[in-house]
Amino acid sequence: MSEKIAVLGAGSWGSILANLLDENGHDVALWSYKPEQVAELNEKHTNSHYIQNFTFSDTLKAYADLKTALTGAETVLFVVPTKAVRSVAGEVKAALEALNSRPALVHASKGIEQNTYKRVSEILAEEIPSAYRSSITVLSGPSHAEDVAKKDLTLVTAASADLNAAKHVQDLFMNNYFRVYTNSDVIGVEIAAALKNIIALGTGALNGLGYGDNAKAALMTRGLAEISRLGASFGANPQTFIGLAGVGDIIVTGTSQNSRNYRAGDELGRGESLDDVINHMGMVIEGVATTKSAYELAQQRGVDMPITEAIYQVLYEGKDIRKAISDLMQREGRSEF
């Protein structure tokens, strides 16, 4: 079944997901707030700053006007950085009110809002009341845009409190290289998705410092353990953390040069300053803001998250990375579980 879908955010992930949906036969409107990027997408079928050496489908249409992109949309997919979700959602609500439409919402962003500690689905629910939308679903899992662009095999999960909505998202996205599971644990999927970026900063830093595979495997495993503890404090399903959104995404983000978070960590490990790394990445490094949110959440909730705390101290308090690693290694010995 083909439908009209608006994709909001034309960075690497938004533009590649829009292209996938177009190739799946849907009528896709890709919205960017930058008119020059819209012109490049429509005229050259490229998005060169965000995804290199890729030609987009010539039936994919980009728009700089949000209301035009939303007109007739049955599904609206948000793929802007977490820090932009609230403001974009506010504009979407106003447009949907004017259009008198009530689409299903999906998001693929991975973060926790600074200061409010809200997950992305919570921000959407707050900003777009149920009069202007039906369900909310999160699409998440190990999925670098660069691999999806090559039609490499990719498996993700669609989580919603409404199983029919999750199944609908599964139907929209599934094809012979992109396989979608359903999940009812929105809390677990969103927490796992956001916090794996902290761990990728850490494994990247280990790489930059010259540490090997044992160290990275240890950080990913113990990192997932503390993410699961925070998830449990919110009532997440423990199984989610051994699924695609949990261990799956930790593996892909924590080991790949395609990951902006891993690359940022790598550069920090090689001695670059955080400001320089952010300035030259030119794309969102979600883990930097999420480290602060997760650290503060752990403090508030009394959840032991030593790795997150160490990365917070490095990013926000100027602690030397080698000292942070040494302090973690010298914590009192304990039982694994």
Ligand X SMILES: O=C(CO)COP(=O)(O)O
Binding residue ranges: 9-14, 34, 50, 110, 141, 143, 145, 196, 249, 259-261, 284, 286
Element (H, E) at 51: none
- Burial pattern 209-244, b for ≥16 Cβ within 10 A else e, equals bebeeebbebbbebbbebbbbbbeeeebbeebbebb
- SS3 readout for 69-91: HHCCCCEEEECCCHHHHHHHHHH
88 lies in the binding site for ligand NDP (CB under 6 A): yes
3 lies in the binding site for ligand X (CB under 6 A): no
Among 109, 259, 290, 308, binds ligand X (CB under 6 A): 259
Among 165, 27, 181, 24, smallest CA distance to 104 is for 165
For 152, the 3-state DSSP assignment is coil
Q: Select from ligand NDP, ligand X, none the partner in contact with residue 295, using the beta carbon and a kind-dependent cut-off of 5 to 8 Å.
A: none
Residues in region 255-294 near ligand NDP by CB under 6 A = 283-284, 286
143 lies in the binding site for ligand NDP (CB under 6 A): yes
Among 38, 81, 136, 207, binds ligand NDP (CB under 6 A): 81
Among 107, 119, 216, 260, binds ligand X (CB under 6 A): 260
Known binding site for sn-glycerol 3-phosphate: residues? 110, 141, 143, 196, 249, 259-261
Task: Determine whether 196 is an active site residue.
Answer: yes
Q: Give me the catalytic one of 118, 196, 216, 292.
A: 196
Numbers of helices and strands, H then E, in the chain: 15, 8
Residue nearer to ligand X on the CB measure, 143 or 313: 143
261 lies in the binding site for ligand X (CB under 6 A): yes
Q: Helix %, strand %, coil % for the chain, to 5? A: 55, 15, 30
Between β-strands 75-78 and 154-160, what pairing exists: parallel, antiparallel or unpaired? unpaired
Name residue, tokens 């990247």: 204
- Number of residues near ligand X (by CB under 6 A): 13
Residue nearer to ligand NDP on the CB measure, 12 or 313: 12
Known binding site for substrate: residues? 110, 260-261
Alpha carbon separation from 247 to 69, 82, 238, 243, 266 (Å, rounded): 35, 21, 12, 6, 21
Q: What x/- string results for residues 126 through 155 when contact with ligand X is judged by CB under 6 A?
A: ----------------xxx-----------
**Cα dihedral 45→47→53→59 (10° resolution):** -30
Residue nearer to ligand X on the CB measure, 226 or 249: 249
Sheet of 4-8: strand order equals 61-63, 27-31, 4-8, 75-78, 104-107, 136-140, 154-160, 178-183
220 lies in the binding site for ligand NDP (CB under 6 A): no
Name residue, tokens 């009530």: 102
Residue nearer to ligand NDP on the CB measure, 61 or 319: 61
**Residues linked to residue 154 through DSSP beta bridges, in sequence order:** 178
Stretch that binds ligand NDP, among 12-20, 123-131, 214-222, 292-300 (CB under 6 A): 12-20
Cβ(48)–Cβ(78) under 8 Å? Answer: no
Query: Which residues of the chain form contacts with ligand X (CB under 6 A)?
Result: 110, 142-144, 197, 200, 249, 252-253, 259-261, 286
> Which of the residues are catalytic?
196
Query: Which residues of the chain form contacts with ligand NDP (CB under 6 A)?
Result: 9-14, 32-33, 50, 79-82, 84, 87-88, 108-111, 143-145, 283-284, 286
